[in-house]
Amino acid sequence: MRKRAAARQLDVLTVLKACDKPMTAYQILEQLQTTEPNIAPPTVYRTLSALTDQGRAHRLESINAFVPCRCSHAESVPVLAICDDCGTVDEHDGSELLPKLTALTGQNAFHAVRHIVEIHGLCGACAA
């Protein structure tokens, strides 16, 4: 029996929240297949697309992985600090960046659809 989109989204979010590091779509698929062996990759990709469109998950473009949204950003910019050593991701509210980003891109009449800032480096534990 096929699951409804809301139930599928809850399943994927549960998998994402249970992991303390970013997950690829195929890692999510592997986790879901333990209880639902017939689930296919397109189902996971469609679900992740819906979750990112809703702002309930973030796609880390630079490493092609996903994390659950841990902040509330209706009109803000998620700032994701990615540790290149251990892989942890800290999410910050970059609301104060939005006017500056809008002004910067507005110089060329560019209209942004979404804003995500990814910063790579070392977390406090790895830098110590």
Query: E strand or H helix at 12, and its extent?
Result: helix 5-18
> Contact, 69 vs 36, CB < 8 A?
no
Q: How far is CA 18 from the centre of its chain?
A: 14
89, 22 in Cβ contact below 8 A?
yes
123 is in an annotated binding site: yes
Known binding residue 83? Answer is yes
Q: Binding site annotation covers 69?
A: no
The tokens describing 33, both together, are: 């297949």
Is 19 annotated among the ligand-binding residues? no
In this structure, what token pair is assigned to residue 119? 């910063």
The answer to whether 71 is a known ligand-binding residue is no
- Residue 75 CA to residue 61 CA, distance in Å, equals 20
The residue type at 30: E
What the block records as the tokens of 24 is: 């690829």
The binding site comprises 83, 86, 115, 123, 126
The binding site for Zn(2+) comprises 83, 86, 123, 126
The binding site for Fe cation comprises 115
